[in-house]
Amino acid sequence: MPCSRFRSALPVCMVATLLTFCAICPSPSIGQPTPSARWLTSAWDAHWISPPDQPARAYGVHHFRRTFDLTSVPEGFVVHVSADNRYRLFVNGTPVNIGPARGDLRHWRFDTLDLAPWLKLGRNVLATQVWNFAEHGPVAQTTDQTAFILQGDDETSAVANTDGDWRAFTNPAYSPITGFGAKLYTYIVVGPGDDVDGARYPWGWEMPGFDDRSWKAASSLRRGTPRGISTDGKWLLVPRQIPLMESTPIRLQTVRRATGVEVSAEFVQGDAPFTIPAHSHATVLLDQAELTTGFPELIVSGGKGGVVTLTYAESLFEGPDSPATKVKGHRDEIEGKYLRGFTDTFRPDGTGPRTFRPLRWRTWRYLQADIATGDQPLTIVDLKAEFSAYPFIEHARFDSADDSLAGIWEIAWRTLRTGTHEIFTDSPYYEQLSYVGDSRIEALVSLYVSGDDRLMRKTIEAFDESRNPNGLTSSRWPDSRHQIIPPYSLVWISMVHDYWQLRDDADFVRARLAGVREVLRYFVEHSDPATGSYTGRQWWNYVDWISAWGRDPLTGLGGVPPRDERGASAILDLQHVYTLQQAAELMTAFGYHDDASLYATRAEKIREYVIATCWNDERGLLADTSERLTYSQHANTYLILTAGGKIGRLTDLARKIRDEPDLTPATFYFNFYTHQAMIAAGLGDDYLNWLDPWRGVLELGLTTVPEKPTPDTRSDSHAWGAHPMMGFLTTVLGIGPAGPGFKRVRIAPHLGDLPFARGAVPHPLGEISVDLRREGADGLIGTVTLPEGLGGVFEWQGHMQELQPGQQAISVHR
């Protein structure tokens, strides 16, 4: 399917900050208004409620209902809703929202919704499904206990406030499916699968006509309390900062194989049900044709005593089902391959039609239904899905004479879309965690392509709020476990610097500077006082997934660069320098000149020490450590990025990074930094030649960018590899800020061998568009169009031209 499949039919924008792309952001949805100030500054009237007679922190799926009468249908019926862990809200049987957005107990999100469109004259029913995965929960889920709250915004909607008048029922049909780490021989922490027994399910529980008289009154716990007015740090409520997730119906594309039953090719269109006889087994493998994320919906009829197991996978495997088997091959090929993956199970009750839908969204390209029937035949009426992800809209565009770039753009955008939900995630299939290193790249790509800065702001703020007493941010957040990666706290500072460059939002950036100081304090306390070299061994000092680096001898973890006997690493030291330089710029901009001077002096001291101890003059390269045993693209990348004009022959060094065969190569993730270094060293016109690993992804039939540039990588989708989209816009077209706040634009294109390139980037003031083509051997012509209020400069091959709002011609001949 084309990329446009991912564009929301009904895009939603929350109340935007003044800096959100007002020129391109659609109007706020009727369903997501602004909460009244009262509910942000005083205790709520509504109480958190829980199911009675149930353990507070146990696995369970629960239903709550409230019936009320309306003498007229109001123009607005605004409510504020939250739950622990999650909820799905229905109004008169219609599903309205799934929430809340990810947060932590100190910053527990609530959703503000206008339910008026679904209300009617007379009797109305609000119904919600709340679940608590307890010890089986995703690592990205924090929790205190099972609970739900709904607060009306005014007197009209206050009739729905949660209290003892709500009725509750604990659903006995659900059981968790666990053990996926052992089954898949890897780290997978996305929560349990759902095992649902249809015979025990209260079908129709969400509908107005359902008889809930046997349900018990809900237990009232405590009033809702906004953050800042309570001394009890339990569910400190803060408003949702991001839009509601996209919800778009999608169809599976192909029946790839079926055993034990005949399945028509038209089944995937919803037009050809098939029946499995009693006492039979059947397997149907369906292909989405691209990796996606969302909620599958299985519709069946009959089949009492049967079992349907749905298995979701990014790809199929070759060879025996064992930890040693990692061969995936071409992702389109299925012959001789088998599927292993995350599963859900549904046990039909013998009537129908019945619909099974998992509680949490799933990730798949391939979806397999394994069916075993009992005494009744089972009819599979349909198997469809609802795409779900953050509602990014593709406002940027890029076009060139190289068709492979269009393919890279498409898979990169799909990777970002499916990898971004209420948080930026690393992998939508295996972890669904927001790591700082991944999030920096994803935030930049999303900002350049969509213009939507809300999730970037939320992410920067969330990591700031995750801070540990030692000054470091958590490496991933939200996180029900405790993981710290000191170099990722440095990346968080880089995220603040990115936002400062791209948004004129001084108050937001200034509020982060105390956190910047805290991170850098940690590195001072864990560095050699004489040299400034970082020698800290605590936590996980991850830089990149490089198998040649082996495992850190202290922690046993991979991804840690080589260190000498004193614990020093040129890579870690120069990343520290890179960040100190950015921090010095931030402090200078906000008038903290003593901090800026301190950071600049410290950066220079460390960099000089690294060069003095690790530079190999004979090779013209920087070694990874003072022992000069290994060399990497990583160390030399940071050497260029921190050079500041103080090391000559940067272009020669960049060519060595590109050409020397014994340098440890960067992966998709760290190539973001390597590419930036090559451009800084004057090799921007070679940029498109560095994208062969992404072209190789296309040749393998992958529809997203994988975790690492190897055919049998664990994860087929890692959005840290989506950065070529940004590269096409910022390097090939050359569009970027000419200074902090993006108040002016600098356009410095690098077309390489392309005869033409054109495209556009969204800006808070409107669209920046560029249309350029080669003329002869040494000419460049075209147009640049800037929105009203934005000026800038065009630079190419030593030529500079001042840019004004509106369209202007470009004509340069050397």
Fill in the amino acid letter for 113. Answer: L
Q: Which pLDDT score, from 0 to 100, does residue 558 have?
A: 96
Band of residue 18 on the pLDDT scale cut at 50, 70, 90: very low
- Cβ pair 312, 364 in contact under 8 A: yes
Q: Which pLDDT score, from 0 to 100, does residue 22 have?
A: 33
Q: At what angle do helices 593-614 and 633-641 cross, to 10 degrees?
A: 140
Q: For 704-713, 750-759, 765-774, which range has the lowest pLDDT when averaged over its residues?
A: 704-713
Is residue 27 predicted with pLDDT exceeding 80? no
Is residue 547 predicted with pLDDT exceeding 70? yes
Buried b (16+ CB within 10 A) or exposed e, 655-667: bbbbeeeebbbbb
- Cβ pair 342, 365 in contact under 8 A: no
Q: Which pLDDT score, from 0 to 100, does residue 4 have?
A: 33
Within 10 angstroms of residue 67's Cβ, the number of other Cβ atoms is: 15
Q: Which pLDDT score, from 0 to 100, does residue 328 have?
A: 95
Is residue 42 predicted with pLDDT exceeding 50? yes
DSSP 35: P
C-alpha torsion sign, points 612, 616, 620, 622: negative
Q: Which pLDDT score, from 0 to 100, does residue 31 have?
A: 58
Tokens at 776, concatenated: 């002869």
Query: Between 352 and 541, whose confidence is greater?
Result: 541
Query: Between 325 and 244, whose confidence is greater?
Result: 244
Distance CA 633, CA 657 (A): 6
Q: Region 6-33: what's the mean pLDDT?
A: 37
The alpha carbon torsion through 439, 440, 444, 446 (nearest 10 deg) reads 0
Query: Between 23 and 239, whose confidence is greater?
Result: 239
Q: How much is the mean pLDDT over the chain? A: 94
What are the DSSP calls for 256-295, one per residue?
EEEESS---GGGGGT---EEEPTT-EEEEEEEEEEEEEEE
- Cβ pair 275, 378 in contact under 8 A: yes
Radius of gyration of the chain (CA): 28
Distances (CA, A) of 191 to 362, 492, 763: 11, 27, 38
What confidence tens digit (pLDDT) does each residue in 126-136 have?
A: 999 999 999 99
Band of residue 19 on the pLDDT scale cut at 50, 70, 90: very low
Q: Which pLDDT score, from 0 to 100, does residue 324 have?
A: 82
Band of residue 10 on the pLDDT scale cut at 50, 70, 90: very low
Q: Which pLDDT score, from 0 to 100, does residue 12 have?
A: 30
Q: For 125-129, 321-325, 349-353, 469-473, which range has the lowest pLDDT when averaged over its residues?
A: 321-325
List own/partner pairs for 334-337 with CB under 8 A and 24 or more apart. Answer: 334/256, 334/257, 334/285, 334/287
Quick one: which of 313, 377, 370 has its CA closest to 345? Answer: 370
Is residue 204 predicted with pLDDT exceeding 80? yes
C-alpha torsion sign, points 229, 233, 238, 241: positive
What confidence tens digit (pLDDT) does each residue in 145-166 have?
A: 999 999 999 999 999 999 999 9
Q: Region 34-57: what's the mean pLDDT?
A: 96
What confidence tens digit (pLDDT) does each residue in 764-796 have?
A: 999 999 999 999 888 999 999 999 999 999 999
Q: At what angle do helices 593-614 and 570-589 cross, to 10 degrees?
A: 160
Band of residue 507 on the pLDDT scale cut at 50, 70, 90: very high
Distance CA 463, CA 441 (A): 15
Distance CA 161, CA 99 (A): 17
Tokens at 188, concatenated: 């997978």
Is residue 388 predicted with pLDDT exceeding 50? yes
805: Cβ contacts below 8 Å, ≥ 6 apart: 786, 787, 788, 789, 790, 791
Q: Which pLDDT score, from 0 to 100, does residue 780 have?
A: 96
Q: Which pLDDT score, from 0 to 100, does residue 814 have?
A: 76
Q: Which pLDDT score, from 0 to 100, does residue 28 have?
A: 34
Is residue 647 predicted with pLDDT exceeding 90? no
Band of residue 710 on the pLDDT scale cut at 50, 70, 90: confident
Q: Region 440-465: what's the mean pLDDT?
A: 98
- pTM for the whole thing? 0.94
Q: Region 250-277: what's the mean pLDDT?
A: 97
Q: Region 201-208: what's the mean pLDDT?
A: 98
Q: Which pLDDT score, from 0 to 100, does residue 231 have?
A: 79
